[in-house]
Amino acid sequence: MNVMHRFANPTRFLRLARVIQPWSMAVALVAIVAGLVWGLVYAPVDYQQGDTVRIMFVHVPAAWMALFIYGIMAVASAVGLIWRHAVADLAAKASAPIGAAFTVICLVTGSLWGQPMWGTWWVWDARLTSMLILLFLYIGYMALWQAFDDPQKAARAAAILALVGTINLPIIKFSVDWWNTLHQPASVLTLAGPKIHASLLWPLLFMAIGFKAYFISVLMIRMRSELAARRIRGLRLAYAAADTGR
Amino acid sequence: MGGYAAFVWPAFGIAALVMVTLLMTSLRGLRSNQAALDALEQDIAPRRRRPRQKGSNHDA
């Protein structure tokens, strides 16, 4: 809790962001390159799906990130609502476009996988529909930030939407268990452990680590940008008030 | 790729395009905001150094 309050200070947070960013970029680059080479060159083909199984190495990590980032956004929104930390509000705001991007990647790569395997680009089954709703939640969240002139009102409205939307996360995760879906059931994050072979699991994990490090890198960049914009707004307001008072 | 190249390569290509575009636009936004902040702070610094005028209300 003390750590959270420490980094509510924008100056302290910016110092941390400048330290983290180059390391997370390096980890992202190494992990993604390693995952791509392993997944595209060395990983075996699936006996049923052939080379389309390689789409898993972008589709699955993107799906994991789409859910993970929404969770981060919801936690940051809760912190911003409860403790009025501007840094938390801006963390949520900065995360949203990244989460939306991964959701788009997941949906598009899923369609590219589905067409040769299922014979269709899209079905309205529970998994795909709930992922599409996640994309709409991200877009709605970003639109709310733009809808208000007052950043504090925008942050509050957007935070409420983010928190209400968290109900979608367990729906997405358990959709393949609760309903009959064309989308396959979980094969990595199951109670009995991963069901896929190590030769496919390891490049998948490398890509997952790379995507996570990429998220941290882009989040740091976007938060630095948002904090600069916030400071610009503050300075302009302060000096407009000073000029009016003369 | 057993006839699946038309699906596999676009999947990786679109993922790369989205991620690189997001990174580039984020960096551009940061540079733009940082430049605007630096310009504003430079503009403000001379105002802070401006001396107070004699006989103004501030002296009361």
Span A149-200, pLDDT tens digits: 999 999 999 999 999 999 999 999 888 787 777 777 666 665 666 677 788 8
Looking at beta carbons, which residues of chain A come within 8 Å of B34?
224-225, 228
Q: Tell me what percent of the residues of chain A surpass a pLDDT of 90.
A: 65
What one-letter code names the amino acid at B53? Q
What is the residue type of A164?
A: V
Mean pLDDT over the full length of chain A: 90
* Positive or negative torsion for Cα A83, A154, B26, A30: positive
What gap in Å lies between CA A91 and CA A222, rounded to an integer?
8
Inter-chain contact B29–A62, Cβ cutoff 8 Å?
Answer: no
Q: Is the pLDDT of residue B25 over 80?
A: yes
B5 has a chain A CB within 8 A of its CB: yes
Q: Is the per-residue pLDDT at A74 higher than 50?
A: yes
Q: How far is B9 from chain A (nearest CA, A)?
A: 9
| Residues A225, B11: C-beta atoms closer than 8 Å | no
Q: Contacts for A195-204 with beta carbons within 8 Å, 24 or more apart? A: A199/A42, A199/A43, A199/A44, A200/A43, A200/A44, A200/A53, A200/A56, A202/A38, A203/A34, A203/A35, A203/A38, A203/A39, A203/A42, A203/A43, A203/A57, A204/A35, A204/A39, A204/A56, A204/A57, A204/A60, A204/A61
pLDDT of A69 over the 70 cut? yes
Q: Quick one: pLDDT at residue B57? A: 46
Q: Does B36 touch chain A (CB under 8 A)?
A: yes
ipTM more than 0.85?
A: yes
How far is Cα A9 from Cα A17, in angstroms, rounded to an integer? 12
Identify all chain B residues contacting A224, using CB atoms and an 8 Å cutoff. 30, 34
Q: At A99, list the tokens.
A: 């989460």
Nearest residue in chain A measured CA to CA from B57? A246
Residue among B18, B29, B37 minimizing CB distance to A104: B18
Is the CB of B37 less than 8 angstroms away from the CB of A228? yes
Q: A38-57, pLDDT tens digit by residue? A: 999 888 888 788 888 899 99
Helices A126-147/A168-178 angle, 10° precision? 170
* Element of type H or E holding B25: helix B5-49
Average pLDDT, integer, range A106-135: 93
Verify whether the Cβ–Cβ distance B22 to A98 is below 8 Å.
yes
Chain mean pLDDT for chain B: 82
Q: What is the pLDDT of residues A160-172, one digit of tens each?
A: 999 999 999 999 9
Which token pair is A72? 């981060």
pLDDT for residue B18: 98
pLDDT for res B45: 66
pTM of the predicted model as reported, rounded to 2 decimal places:
0.89
Q: Where are the domains of chain A?
A: 24-42+49-239
The predicted model gives A205-222 an average pLDDT of: 96
Who wins on pLDDT, A5 or B33? Answer: B33
Least CB-CB distance to B15: which of A105, A115, A231? A105
